Structure 1
Amino acid sequence: MKEWFKKMSKDIWRSQGLRAIFSISSAIAFCYYIYLNHFVERSNLVEAAKEEEHMVLNSTNVTHTILWWNQPIWVVPYETKCSNCITSTNRSVFDKSSAVVFSLADGHMGSQPPIENNMRNQNQIWVAFSLETIVQNSWIKDYKNKHWKDVFNWTWNYRPSADIFMPYGRVSEKLKPLSKNYSMIFQRKNKFAAWAVSHCNAHSLRDKFVKNMNMRLQNHSIDIFGKCGPLKISKDKLPSLLSHDYKFYLAFENAFCDDYVTEKIFAHFNTDIINVVRGKANYTNIFPKGSFINTSDFRNTSDLVNYLVEVSENETLYSNYLIQKDKFQAWDDLKEQYKQSICNICRQLNDPYLERKTIYDAEEELGQCIKPNDV
């Protein structure tokens, strides 16, 4: 009897245990089913949202017009389309335009905006454009009027901090550095330095700086081409002449302004010549160290001239600059830079999370300019 009771107890315990396990398993399975179903539904929603966003960004039904309110003359032959964006100069499409670009350096903006701020389409972006500094823009009065404060949303200029960054050129590292006979290049050069300039008496006092350099050069001289010098040469022939005959080229800016680096150094970066730069920009942020000579690295003009003479007479020193420079490639195609800028505007206009800020003073965004203290 006792054995029978024990056996019955085990059977009951086993049956209840199996039932409990089954119940727990069923509960877990049910919870997992609910979770999985919710996860799948959520995943589907996420994918649907991504597909919807993709459709918005690639929709052929949406065309963004970028209106030039006062287009610079040099822009006329350039590209007018990018993706689903087109540029226009027809002011009659003002209300329907996604972005309106005002060229600060070209005038004809008017003493006040074409429409009062409270009457504007709040989804429309106003862009302040300028590839010139506040020094070159000093004669322009329109955009300095108080009515142009607090109306722009984006900036488009030569500064890296701009919403649309358009430099005068770009530099990138080559996949395979050039291999040259640098000794032959050094030996064939029979002239010291050249400077091509047509903007005389510039704000940067570069005319005076070059005059001081020439005064300190004894057995060498700086040849000056263009309207500000006695030598003349066509723009097409200048690069080959510099590359073959000259050891240095003076890439001096017309103004000392933040981040202001024009085409001068980019245009001659790919030639067999060492660029000597002078300006307010941080050149090492743009060009590889050891590929150029910066006048600001010297205490005075005498120290600069002495170093240039030393490099010009030392094949190893001179060749090292060219070797370092030849590891990189420069582009100074303004047409291509413009095209990239239009496409950047288009990309931002298509962004569902488009950033629309308000800029108090467009002139401040161009940075500060100073009078140089090296002459």
Structure 2
Amino acid sequence: AKYFVPTQVKNQFLSELSPVVYIQSGCNTPSQRDAYVQELMKYIPVDSYGACLPNKKLPENMLYPSDGTDSDEFLHFISRYKFALAFENAVCEDYISEKLWRPLAYGLMSDGDWLPNPDSAILISEFESPEKLAHFLRELNNDTARYESYLGHKLDSATLKITNKKLLSALSSRSKENIDWGVNVEQFECYICQRAHIRMK
């Protein structure tokens, strides 16, 4: 994988980086993600970049990339971290954005129904408190074999990268109409506009 960083290399980065990264641009969200992260920071080091809880600054060349958070530079930058916190702005059933897929695809760990397999993400909702999550992340950070069990779907040695039957079924049965709008907000907005014009005719 283009952005995959081996665990031994990520462990070397721990001399200069926290094990956890949090990158955000929108503050005061309905999900109250910043309040959660602020509490989490009491129990485990978190490198926080962005407008709301910054304790680190992004490199100058990444402040305003033309392709946003999908730039090669940015993805290589975050892939050095062992864990990435991925929160949505709001908590809505069946809403999935790049905040879920990017960590899964690019070598970091981040709604369970759509994960490739049960061990492809750590779900914050399964922990009673930020303190309990921090304890779990610290344990995982110190146990390479256990940490790498969460990366199995990304490793070349994995025999079956996706074991989630619901996800496999959805991927194989989706119609072209359902994917015409692509994966970007702008494309989705155009798709909605086109569908509205068709209905008005």
- Note whether the superposition's TM-score is higher than 0.5: yes
- Percent sequence identity over aligned pairs: 28
- Which amino acid is 1:215 matched to? K
Is the contact made by 1:185 and 1:272 (CA closer than 8 Å) also made in structure 2? Answer: no
Larger Rg: 1
For residues 262-302 of structure 1, give each alpha carbon's deviation from its aligned partner in whole angstroms, at most 9, with x where no partner exists.
22222332222112xxxxxxx12211221000011112222
- Which amino acid is 2:42 matched to? M
- Which amino acid is 1:262 matched to? S
For structure 2, the 5+ residue unaligned runs are 63-68, 156-160, 163-181
Report the alpha carbon displacement of residue 336 of structure 1 after superposing the two structures with TM. 9.5
Say what the alpha-carbon RMSD is for the aligned residues: 3.2
Match 1:258 to one of 93, 100, 104? 93
If the length of structure 2 is used for normalisation, what is the TM-score? 0.65
1:286 matches 2:114: yes
Is the contact made by 2:23 and 2:50 (CA closer than 8 Å) also made in structure 1? Answer: yes
- Which amino acid is 1:297 matched to? E
Question: How far apart in 2 are the matches of 1:336 and 1:206?
Answer: 25
1:243 matches 2:67: no
Is the contact made by 1:213 and 1:305 (CA closer than 8 Å) also made in structure 2? Answer: yes
Give the 3 Å change call, closer, same or farther, for CA 301–258 of structure 1 in structure 2. same
Question: Which stretches of structure 1, 4 residues or more, deviate above 6 A after TM superposition?
Answer: none
Aligned counterpart, 1:334 = 184
Give the length in aligned residue pairs: 156
Question: How far apart in 2 are the matches of 1:257 and 1:306?
Answer: 27
Question: How far apart in 2 are the matches of 1:232 and 1:195?
Answer: 12
Report the alpha carbon displacement of residue 340 of structure 1 after superposing the two structures with TM. 11
Q: Higher strand share goes to which structure?
A: 1
If the length of structure 1 is used for normalisation, what is the TM-score? 0.37
Is the contact made by 1:186 and 1:319 (CA closer than 8 Å) also made in structure 2? Answer: no
Aligned counterpart, 2:11 = 187
Aligned counterpart, 2:106 = 271
Aligned counterpart, 1:206 = 33
Give the 3 Å change call, closer, same or farther, for CA 194–183 of structure 1 in structure 2. closer
Report the alpha carbon displacement of residue 187 of structure 1 after superposing the two structures with TM. 3.4
Aligned counterpart, 1:103 = none
Question: How far apart in 2 are the matches of 1:317 and 1:189?
Answer: 19
